[in-house]
Each structure stands twice: as structure tokens, then as C-alpha cells.
Amino acid sequence: MHRTVGKWVSFAFLIVVFSVLTTAAVAQSGGAHRWMNPSLSPDERASMVVKEMTIDEKITLLHGTGMAGLSPLSPLIIHSNGGAGYVPGIPRLGIPAIQMSDAAYGVRMSGENGRYSTALPSDVAGAASWDLEAGYEYGALIGRELRAQGYNMTLGGGINLTREPRNGRTFEYLGEDPILAGKMVGAVMKGLQAQHVIGDIKHYALNDQESGRNAVNVNIDKRSARESDLLAFEIGLEESDAAAVMCSYNRVNGDYSCENKYLLNEVLKKDWKFKGFVLSDWGGVHSAIKASAAGLDHEEPGWIFYGDDLKKDVESGRVPKSELDDHVHRILRAMFATGVVDDPPIKGVPDVMGGLEIAQKLSEQSIVLLKNEQALLPLDASKLHSIAIIGPHADVGMISGGGSAQVDPPGGNVIMPPGRGQTKWQDKVWFPTSPLKSVQAKAPAANVQFNSGADPASAAALAKSADVAIIFAYQWESEGMDLDSLSLPEHQDELIAQVAAANPRTIVVLENGGPVTMPWVDQANAIVEAWFAGSRGAEAVANILFGEVNPSGKLPLTFPKSEADLPHPSLVKPGPESIPDESRPEPWRQIAAGLAPFQVTYNEGVKVGYKWYDAENKPVLFPFGFGLSYTTYSYSNLKVTPGSRPQVTFTVTNSGSHAGAEVAEVYVSLPTAAQEPPKRLVGFSKVKLKAGESKEVSVEVDPKYLSIFNVAQNGWQLIPGEYGFMVGGSSQNLPLKASIALK
């Protein structure tokens, strides 16, 4: 009997344990809740959850939990995965936490967190590929590595146009054209969100310089804004359904971006029908009531305004409950729509080797050959006895872009003592990808010697004695600063001039994030734009130099001849009243309270990049869309078929002797009545061609790309008249022309 009772007791005990465990598991996964049914729409699911939530739970979703040095810290931050943002979930309702990480060209802070990230070539390099499939692969790799590290949201997706090329974040963005940048960020976000990671496009909007970014007031007319910087966001969102948009630090036409009703509610949410959520840049919020009414959904990194203040404002009716619910709905919807609820990240071993291969391939697709006199390139290893490798650290590494985009190089910063995997804010970080070794590997029989270039005379002497000299020149960029000028720093102009004078068989390889000036341009026989080239940059450069890969990148931004030709020859800097006083405790409080504004007026309007140089008839060093190849391409048979979405068809022929990939570009000049710059890019296609091969290319043009923004009607308008279509391989080499009338 005892034994029987004992059996029953243990059986009952097992049932209890089992049911406790399963209840816990269900609660954890949320499996029992109606909204866990993936066949319901993300909106239905979000609405069901909102109905169940308490006000405190709602407020929890509307802010982060702090970041050292920037805002108060919540005890909950111990659950953070180590990224820039952590939002606790609502376990009772099966809603997971949001773990956010910066991830512009790879996942940030992996060194600090003892993890591994692939560093891809910088974002601007991605744009230089003009290859949307490459963009997808770029985003997919970052998405996979975010998940492997336990994150479910990226903070990458920078898309501010290169309106001010001295902007220290130019490398993090996608160039000067809204259509190229918008399509490319769309491809990156598609690849990323396919991994069930919340995508984010930033910094909305017109955060086009870093100097005084927390105070500056950008003045711009609406039409220009809609046709330039905002159009890039519009296209990026149309192409990808990215679930989040980060509003920027600066003011636009008087209001901070994160409390700017025009930008957030009117344009983003109403005109573009954006269904995702708006999160602030870190410390970019300045109010609760105004920001909430303007359309800000989420404050990062803390809760200066979107914690107790917002709760009180809701309870007192100063913020309508419906507004609060809309913010919450948008965040939940983003989580359901991207799959972070149904398919949460599982930490795992990233595919390190696969990642490196992708990094190299993407770099090879993004390198731009700017000059190649006397067919100096590709090099023929069998004919080279001696090669001089010149330039700072070119024996060991290549430089990367800094700030919150910084990816920790596996292996550490190569110019620091071994073991330094972690990086500090605004360290110059050189990736362990050695130009010297990569070149030597391609020319094993040649005598390859290195000179740092610190003494230009000795570098020139080495170059003189060598069959060919390769200079690796750099210009470092980072968030939190702008460049003083577009010149190469550290006397590199002088170095290049002396080396090229000693040996005209000089190749300059540039490691940089945006345009540089080149007083030596006529002296060096070859110039290769490698950008910040990522974890396998040197291997990619060597493959280009020795012709194993035919260059196919094109410039996503113009290289002007000098700063004097820019729309703003000098950059407007803030006065001391517009910069937080770091000597006072908690400088973030000064930013939150509002620093004195200073004015930057973009009176060039829509004339960003090539549109400016075209309109002003200013010759440039290298034009937008330009890039050479080891083969030649010819264009023929242009046909433009009018219609609601005009079709542009033409033939591209590889008329040379190497296989390659040509970026075919389609530009349009609008009727005079539209009062637009001479031409705008409206489409492109990267075409792979064997030597001698021809392909017919067809580009469909979205009517919006042919339109102007009519402010009075608050909509896009096609101006009836003659549209001049131009097709070719660069914004200044467009051999095919055809006009059609559109109405």
C-alpha cells in the first residue's frame, strides 16, 4: 500500500513538475498566446498584445536601459547582450527583449564582448559596387553575425547623402545620389531582415555634418529636401520595409529631428506609410509631449523623457492614450513582421572563413580603378624583378573607419601590441591585412621591399630602384569629427609627388572614406580607390593589381578638384555654446536640455554632388559614376519606350579582351519647366560580360524618379515635356541619347 501510495505520490509529483516546466516554457516562448499564431498579420498580432499590456509594460518598450556615460542606467542592463541598446521584453506576454547593436560594416564591439565579427568593406565601398545582389549579401552577412552574437536588431543602415564631403561619417553612408543610396540600403536591409533581425535606416534626416551635430539647425526648402536626402530614405523604405528609422541629432528647419512633426508624422508615417517605429539617435531626445506628438516612438539609450515623464503625461491626458498605444503597436509590429518573436536569435559560431571570403569578394567588387596610364595595370608578375611597397603601415595592415561603426579587427589593431582585440573611441584601427604580404604572394620571385614613407626622400630612392612602386595612402574618418580638408594627411601628397617623380610607374592605392584631392594626379600612372577595405582588403587589392579580378566599381560620389569648388567651401563650425561642456558632470543633460543652435543653410538645395558640378559647370577630378576596367565597353541600340514606367533598353558590348562587369548608368534631363539640374541618375544595372560578349539591358524607370516634388500639392509631379535619356558608363560619358515626350 505504502508502495502504491508512494508511486502515486511520485507520479503526481512528476505531473506537477512537468506542468510547471511546460507552463514556464510556454510563458517563455509565449506559445499559449493567441498572438503567437504566425498566420495572423503583424498588425493583428501587435494589436492583441497592446490590449493586454499595463501602462508600465508599455513604457518599458518605449525606451532603452542606459549606456555608460550617456544617460542613467537601469539595473536591467545586466541582461543586455553588450550592444548599444537593450530593451527588456514582456516575458509574461511572450515578447522577447530587443538587443540592438551598431552594425554598419560588421557587428560592433565584438572585441569588448569577446566575440568575432567580419569587417566588410565600408558602406560607401558597398555603394561603389553598384550591385544590388552584393548589397543583399552585405546585409545578410551582418544579419547572420548579429544573430550568432545574440542580437535581433541592427543600428546600421546609414544613408545620409554626401552633401558635405568633409563629413567624418562619409564612409558609413552610401554616396551622393538618392536613387543609388536608396536602392542600395534597400538591398542591404532586405538581406539583413531575411535573417530575422530588425533593420534600421538612419540618421533621419539631413545629419550631413558631424561638427555641432547636437545643436546645428539645418535650413533647407521642402522641395529640395524631398528630392534629395529624404528621397534616399523614401526609396530605402519602399525597397525593403526596414522596420525602424533612427531620427538624427540635428535640428531641421527649426525643430530637432526627433521632435519634428514634418519629418516624422507628416512625411515618414503619413506620406510614406511607414509602419515601423522611430527610435532616437543616442541622446537625441529633448521632450516627451512634443516628441511623442511629432511621432517619436522610442527613446535611446535611456529614459530622460520616455520613462516617468511620459507616463505622467499619459496619465494626465497631456499625451493621448491612443498616441502611446500607437508607439507600442509600431514596436511590436516591427518585432512580429521581422520574425524576431517567432525565430529568436540563437548564439552560435559564426562562419568565420565564409565571412572572410565574402568580405574579400565584396571588396573586389567595390574597388574603383581611377587612372591607368600606359596600361600600367594589371601587373605581370613574371616581368617584375623588384617592387617597392610604400606608405604608413603598408607592411602590416589597412586602416578602417571609426566611431560607432567601428568593427574590432579579429587579431587586434595591427599597430598596437598583440592581444589588443578591443578598440577605444576614435582609435585609428589598422586591420591585419598586409599589402606587403599580399603583393609578395602574387609575385613570389620579385624582390618586394617596404618603406613607410615617413622620409619621402628615402621612399623615392627605393621607388627609383624598383620596377614599380605601390603607395598605400590613407585618410582616416570617424564619427564625431569632420575632416579639415579633403587633402591626404601627414604629408602624403608630398610623399606621392616625390615617389611618382622618381618612378612614373607608380600606383597609388587609396584607403579612405570619401573624396580626396590629388595635387599629384598627373604624376602617378595608376590610381586605385580601395576605400576602407575590410578584413581582407589587401588580398582584394592584390587581386585587382595583378589582374586576377577585373575592377568593376564606380564612384558613388564625385571627387572635386578642390574644396573651393564645393557648394560650401568652408564647413560651418559650432561656437562653444553649441558644444556640451565636457568638464561639467553628465554632459548629456546639456544636450537633452538643448544646446544653442547655429545655422547651416543648404542653399544649394537639390544640387548635391554631380548635380552641383553639372549645374555650376565646374570641372571635377573624377566624376560620379566613373571607374575604369581592364577591358573596354561600348554601348548601342538605345530605345526608350514611354508608358507609366518607361523602359530603357540598350546593348552593352565588352569590346576588349578581359571578362568583366560594367555598371551601365541611365540619366535623364527633365524638361526646362521642371527647373532641375542638368541631369539625374534614374537607373543602373551591373552587367557581367565575357570578352567580346554583348547583352541587351533593360532598365525600368519609376515615374517618381522622373518627377519633381510639388510642395503645394504635397506630392510628386511629372512635368509634361521632353525627357532626355542618356546612357553610358559614367555621369560624364553618356554616348547614347534619346528624347521622349512624357505627360
In this structure, what C-alpha cell is assigned to residue 551? 575592377
Q: Closer to ligand BGC by CB, 100 or 367: give it.
A: 100
Q: How far is the CB of 588 from ligand BGC (least distance, A)?
A: 11
Q: How far is the CB of 122 from ligand BGC (least distance, A)?
A: 14
Q: How far is the CB of 168 from ligand BGC (least distance, A)?
A: 11
Tell me the C-alpha distance between 223 and 709, whole Å: 6
Q: How far is the CB of 307 from ligand BGC (least distance, A)?
A: 19
Bridge partners (DSSP) listed for residue 601: 219
Q: Given the rule CB under 6 A, which residues bind ligand BGC?
A: 84, 102, 155, 202, 281-282, 404
C-beta of residue 257 within 8 angstroms of C-beta of residue 284: yes
Of the residues 200, 229, 281, 482, only one is catalytic, namely 281
Q: How far is the CB of 65 from ligand BGC (least distance, A)?
A: 14
Q: Closer to ligand BGC by CB, 404 or 438: give it.
A: 404
Q: Closer to ligand BGC by CB, 159 or 369: give it.
A: 159
Q: How far is the CB of 580 from ligand BGC (least distance, A)?
A: 13
- Of residues 450, 527, 463, 452, the one with CA closest to residue 499: 463
Q: What angle do CA 686, 350, 147 make, to 5 degrees?
A: 85
Residue 532: CB partners within 8 Å, gap ≥ 6?
Answer: 105, 121, 122, 125, 171, 398, 399, 400, 401, 477, 511, 512, 513
Taking only Cα atoms into account, the Rg of the chain, rounded to an integer number of angstroms, comes to 27
C-beta of residue 181 within 8 angstroms of C-beta of residue 174: yes
Tell me the C-alpha distance between 506 and 618, whole Å: 28
281 a catalytic residue: yes
Q: What angle do CA 719, 720, 723 make, to 5 degrees?
A: 90
Q: Closer to ligand BGC by CB, 227 or 281: give it.
A: 281
Q: Which helix (H) or strand (E) holds 429?
A: none
C-beta of residue 669 within 8 angstroms of C-beta of residue 727: no
Residue 192 phi/psi, 5° resolution? -70, -50
Q: Closer to ligand BGC by CB, 154 or 228: give it.
A: 154
Q: How far is the CB of 156 from ligand BGC (least distance, A)?
A: 8
Q: Closer to ligand BGC by CB, 85 or 121: give it.
A: 85
C-beta of residue 513 within 8 angstroms of C-beta of residue 122: yes
Q: Closer to ligand BGC by CB, 207 or 512: give it.
A: 207
Q: Phi-psi bin for 580: left (phi > 0), alpha (psi -120 to 50), beta?
A: beta
C-beta of residue 84 within 8 angstroms of C-beta of residue 282: yes
Q: Catalytic residue numbers?
A: 281
